[in-house]
Amino acid sequence: MRLQELGQQIRRARLARGMTQARLAAEAGVSRTTLNQVEGGLFPDLGIRKVLAILDRLDLTLSVRPISRRADPVRMAAIAANVSYKSPLTEDEVLRALLTGKVPPAKRPHFRTLLDEAGLSVLKGIVREARQWTKPGRVERNLAAIGREVGASRRLEEWLTTA
């Protein structure tokens, strides 16, 4: 499970119980802003105790299971972007950039490599993966903006409109 999926599950459980973010945050001992970020898949530095406190208030548990070895476009994207660089681009950084439209300055070369050299199936896969956690069209707009920011040569807008 990705951290974004955990945030989505927390939101579903909170809404199913008719709780506001403010109420859940207060009961779990976190700020409403932090809870909003967690639910939106934009995890701040959040310790396991805080996550467990949130889950406890929703009668949810956290379990550990083996990682699926199915084709994972986000993992493939991170690997493709790291070919020539000393510091790796992580899967979470890929997703965070797609959700926010912001690329960490030190990772701009990674994203340029990813956008120019990864196969379209990988790019379409990361768009499809990130779409789950945000409003329709946001990931596509963010990816196009990232492409312009990093100077990618591939014309992302063209295939995004046909994807």
Q: Find out whether 13 and 6 touch, Cβ atoms under 8 Å.
A: no
Q: Which of 156, 71, 162 is nearest to 111 (CA)?
A: 156
Give the pLDDT of residue 21: 93
The mean pLDDT value of the chain amounts to 84
Which residue ranges does the chain devote to CATH 1.10.260.40? 3-57
R_g (Cα) of the chain, nearest Å: 17
pLDDT tens by residue, 29-84 = 999 998 988 888 776 677 888 888 999 999 988 877 666 656 677 777 777 777 77
CATH architecture of 3-57: Orthogonal Bundle (1.10)
pTM above 0.75, yes or no: no
> What is the rounded end-to-end Cα distance, in angstroms, of the chain?
25
Instruction: Return the residue matching tokens 């994203």.
Output: 111
